[in-house]
Amino acid sequence: MDTQALLQVDGVSIDYRTPQRVVRATHRVSFDVHAADRFVLLGASGCGKSTLLKSIAGFIPPTEGQIRLDGRSVTRPGPDRVVVFQEFDQLPPWKTVRENVAFPLLASRSVGRREAAERAALYLDKVGLSKFADVHPHQLSGGMKQRVAIARALAMQPQVLLMDEPFAALDALTRRRMQEELLALWDEFRFTLIFVTHSIEEALVVGNRIAILSPHPGRLRAELNSQFGLHSLGGVEFQATAQRIHRLLFDEPGAVAPGSVEADLRAGERLAGPAVIRPSGSPPFQIAV
Amino acid sequence: MTAPIVSTLAQAFDAAARVPPVRPEVEHVLPPLVGVAPVQPLPLGARVWQQTWLRRLVILAVLAVLWELVARWQDNDLLLPTFLQTARALVEGLASGELIDKTAISLSVLLKGYAAGILGAFVLTTLAVSTQLGRDLLSTLTAMFNPLPAIALLPLALLWFGLGQGSLVFVLVHSVLWPLALATYAGFQSVPEPLRMAGRNYGLTGIRYVLQILVPAALPAILSGLKIGWAFAWRTLIAAELVFGASSGKGGLGWYIFQNRNELYTDKVFAGLVMVILIGLLVEGLGFRTLERLTVQRWGQQR
């Protein structure tokens, strides 16, 4: 067992500010992510899992606690922690697929033009999009756009690959296929992955370690291991673990069931006094340019 | 009439007890399609009519015919020369080189003012996306100066910069800067959050971030700002020359129109106006259209 974790999240609390009040999104969360982990952050909406991921990426500074990558404190976004977002508009539409994959390599000045082109070709091949290298993103389907985003992230060879519900906007069949491909890619490259999802099934399939967060504010409820793959879907053991996670998520003493109208109303009250429910997808905070 | 109602009621009542019948599973073997082309070409007429330039040409021709008819019916050369007379004056002006000279003078002043205005707008909006104070500066300045007609500043400009290109460029900058800065800033603000974060993720900051992420992402808004700015610049320039005569020493197109109106060469006045229109059409049709086709349309940001 080698000693130090690659990424340490140490007592991290994150607040975000609305014009009226300060809201705690994440409260004193600690966990370790080791090299080649597939670490899943699982929780209902409002548990601060995306906020936590953005904080690891360096977009939002923690209010207390520290995030350390390789022992160094994370303070701002950087190419060593590449994020794959859920939204399809993360790809600059003015660049072709090939340029999109090579762009971060050139923008971060990590490699030269020639190697950027080589890496772009390699990783595009790995996600099966070599034929579409010279096409612009708007001509691709949602699943293909996410594949480009994954190829782009892998081409950077980041220390940690961060994925924020990357398959949530895809249809169920494409999502299943993408999970399979992500696992195949991991088998080949053994990158370190932090993956945010709200699907118990996806967490069990994608992750080898699952952190379960409770909502309002997000606190670490449990860390579980998972050795399931897509083939174990529906198996007895798989079902049992899914049940267990379900219980951890929903049967909190004295808490409101996540996802219920009551929970949304409470979240709204926390935000703006009278119930204002923010549209899902748009973060309640603004990131200054 | 009662029978169906009764039967619907009866159905509704025992709906809970009903179960759909169990049907056997079916599999169809699909033979390959023969003789059905999934894609068919449009008929020739429709394809020709798809050409934008053709449709525009038809509109122009109809307008020209209307003009000719109205002018002939009016029958007063001094008030409204016919289309053909104007065309003749235009061709003569072009052939003698007079119109070309005037146009060149106007265009050179125009381009200087336009370029300076674009530069100013870029600096202002870059400041505005970088700092809170820059944002306030931009919104205050645009709120103050955007409603102010450029022509109203010309007397002042003439005082400060004298009779010459300087004062014209000054008012041109004024007419381009504010609308373009507003459009560009609005474009910057509508850049989707994931794209911004993706850019910052790769370590892009400052001017590289603006140039490599914000400007291309906001290009549709910037282009429409550039078009508005171009139109405003023309208006301002022609109006300045009309009101103040040859304020740049050598007169341009506006001066040409002004002079010929004084001498009652109405056909030449119209020829000057047509020249302005032609340049407008050319810049819109060749310049901006091409730019759009090569950028925002190709990138799928605009249909």
- ipTM attached to this prediction: 0.76
pLDDT the model gives residue A194: 95
Average pLDDT (A30-55) is 90
Residue A210 has pLDDT above 80, yes or no: yes
Confidence category of residue B58, pLDDT binned at 50, 70, 90: very high
Within a domain: residue B209? Answer: yes
Q: Which residues of A touch B200 (CB under 8 A)?
A: 59, 77
pLDDT the model gives residue A278: 43
pLDDT the model gives residue B6: 54
Question: Residue B149, class by beta-carbon neighbours within 10 Å (0-12 exposed, 13-18 middle, 19+ buried)?
Answer: middle
Taking the C-alpha atoms of residue B191 and residue B200, their distance in angstroms, rounded to an integer, is: 13
A33 to chain B, any CB pair closer than 8 A? The answer is no
More confident residue, B73 or A269: B73
Sign for the CA dihedral angle at B297, B300, B302, B303 comes to positive
Q: What is the model's pTM?
A: 0.77
What is the interface size between A and B, counted as CB pairs within 8 Å?
Answer: 86
Length of chain B: 303
Residue A91 has pLDDT above 60, yes or no: yes
Taking the C-alpha atoms of residue A20 and residue A78, their distance in angstroms, rounded to an integer, is: 31
pLDDT the model gives residue A263: 65
CA distances from residue B260 to A87, B84, B239, B274, B275 in whole angstroms, order as listed: 60, 18, 15, 14, 14
User: What is the percent of chain A where pLDDT is above 90?
Assistant: 48
pLDDT the model gives residue B15: 58
B296 is written with which tokens?
């925002």
Residue A259 has pLDDT above 80, yes or no: no
B267 is written with which tokens?
């056909």
Average pLDDT (A57-72) is 92
Please name the residue that has the structure tokens 């100066």.
Answer: B145
Within a domain: residue B47? Answer: no
Q: What letter represents residue A84's amino acid?
A: V
* 8 Å CB contact between A192 and A33: yes
Residue A138 has pLDDT above 80, yes or no: yes
Q: Which residues of A touch B295 (CB under 8 A)?
A: 94
More confident residue, A2 or A241: A241
How far is Cα of residue B5 from the mean position of the Cα atoms in its chain? 62
Number of structural domains chain B divides into:
1
B284 is written with which tokens?
């819109």
Average pLDDT (B198-211) is 90
Taking the C-alpha atoms of residue B237 and residue B150, their distance in angstroms, rounded to an integer, is: 9
Q: Which residues of B touch A99 (CB under 8 A)?
A: none
Q: Report B:196-215 residues touching A (Cβ under 8 A).
A: 196-204, 208-209, 212-214
Average pLDDT (A46-51) is 86
Using DSSP bridges, classify how beta strands A64-69 and A72-73 pair: parallel, antiparallel or unpaired: antiparallel
| Domain that residue B100 falls in | 83-297
* Nearest CB neighbour to B301, from listed A93, A104, A107: A93
pLDDT the model gives residue B209: 92
Within a domain: residue B293? Answer: yes
Within a domain: residue B13? Answer: no
pLDDT the model gives residue B27: 78
Answer left, alpha or beta for residue B92, where phi above 0 means left and psi between -120 and 50 means alpha.
Answer: alpha
Taking the C-alpha atoms of residue B136 and residue B185, their distance in angstroms, rounded to an integer, is: 12
Residue A58 has pLDDT above 90, yes or no: yes
Average pLDDT (A237-241) is 88
What is the rounded average pLDDT for all residues in chain B?
86
Confidence category of residue A284, pLDDT binned at 50, 70, 90: very low
Q: What is the largest CA-CA distance in chain B?
A: 97
Within a domain: residue B6? Answer: no
Domain boundaries, chain A: 81-157
- A174-182: which pairs have CB atoms within 8 A and are 24 or more residues apart? A174/A141, A174/A142, A174/A143, A175/A202, A176/A230, A177/A143, A178/A143, A178/A146, A178/A147, A179/A205, A179/A206, A179/A230, A180/A230, A181/A127, A181/A128, A181/A147, A182/A150, A182/A206
